[in-house]
């Protein structure tokens, strides 16, 4: 037999208050609450350069990551006039026009290298990476074991975090490290 949530011995107003409190508290628990996250566009901080370029020059001892962005190609299919219509002097159609389908590919965006600032290897200690894994897990992006290694699951989580902000790379950017709370905001070190 199931016991009532609120004992009947209490006056009606107290029972209602207790029931309301129980309902309000039912939402409290171990459920994940997303931290406020102001998404910024990481691609705006990146530099696009032709393929084969060397790392950009920048602040002394800055470290850079590179992502090759593939060419964006679209297939265009259009109907073109193969033979125009033949018209009589009065405008009547003697023979209708004939058309053919032409399909071609057009490059919308050339392939390029996208360079962005990253934490330097000296900063990428096992403790730093483990903290990154925990920060990504808190955002629901990392579901693996916290190992302190930049393994495939960590790279996938980094890519998901950064892709929401315009940078589709599994290499941790300096901007993402700042947003994850791994590096002090305003720090130009990297």
Q: Which two tokens stand for residue 152?
A: 């495939």
Rg (CA), the chain: 30
d(CA 112, CA 95): 50
Q: Of the ranges 1-10, 47-56, 146-155, which one carries the lowest mean pLDDT score?
A: 1-10
User: What is the torsional sign of CA 10, 12, 18, 22?
Assistant: positive
Torsion angle of C-alpha atoms 34, 38, 39, 43, degrees rounded to 10: -140
Q: For residue range 142-160, list pLDDT tens digits in order.
A: 999 999 999 999 999 999 9
Count of residues making up the chain: 190
d(CA 85, CA 63): 64
Give pLDDT, residue 21.
Answer: 65
25 has pLDDT over 50: yes
CB 110 within 8 A of CB 71: yes
CB 153 within 8 A of CB 142: yes
83 has pLDDT over 90: yes
Give pLDDT, residue 58.
Answer: 74
Q: What is the pTM of this model?
A: 0.59
Nearest to 74 by CA among 101, 107, 110: 107
Q: Which two tokens stand for residue 50?
A: 């032709």
3-state secondary structure 88-139: CCCCCEEECCEEEEEEEEEEEECCEEEEEEECCCCCCCHHHHHHHHHHHHHC
The residue assigned the tokens 């389908």 is 101
Give pLDDT, residue 26.
Answer: 57
180 has pLDDT over 90: yes
Torsion angle of C-alpha atoms 21, 27, 39, 141, degrees rounded to 10: 160
| Domain range summary for the chain, segments of one domain joined by + | 44-53+60-70+117-179
């Amino acid at each position: 037999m199931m016991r009532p949530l609120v004992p009947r011995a209490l006056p009606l107003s107290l029972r209602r208050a207790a029931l309301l409190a129980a309902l309000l508290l039912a939402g409290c628990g171990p459920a994940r609450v997303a931290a406020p996250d102001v998404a910024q566009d990481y691609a705006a901080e990146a530099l696009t350069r032709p393929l084969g370029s060397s790392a950009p020059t920048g602040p002394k001892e800055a470290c850079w990551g590179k992502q090759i962005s593939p060419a964006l190609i679209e297939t265009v299919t259009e109907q073109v006039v193969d033979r125009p219509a033949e018209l009589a002097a009065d405008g009547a159609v003697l023979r209708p026009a004939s058309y053919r389908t032409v399909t071609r590919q057009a490059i919308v965006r050339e392939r390029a290298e996208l360079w962005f600032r990253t934490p330097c290897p000296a900063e990428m200690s096992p403790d730093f990476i483990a903290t990154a894994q925990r920060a990504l897990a808190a955002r629901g992006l990392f579901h693996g074991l916290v190992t302190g290694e930049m393994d495939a699951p960590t790279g996938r989580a980094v890519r998901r975090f950064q892709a929401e902000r315009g940078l589709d790379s599994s290499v941790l950017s300096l901007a993402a490290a700042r947003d994850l709370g791994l590096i002090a905001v305003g720090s130009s070190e990297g």
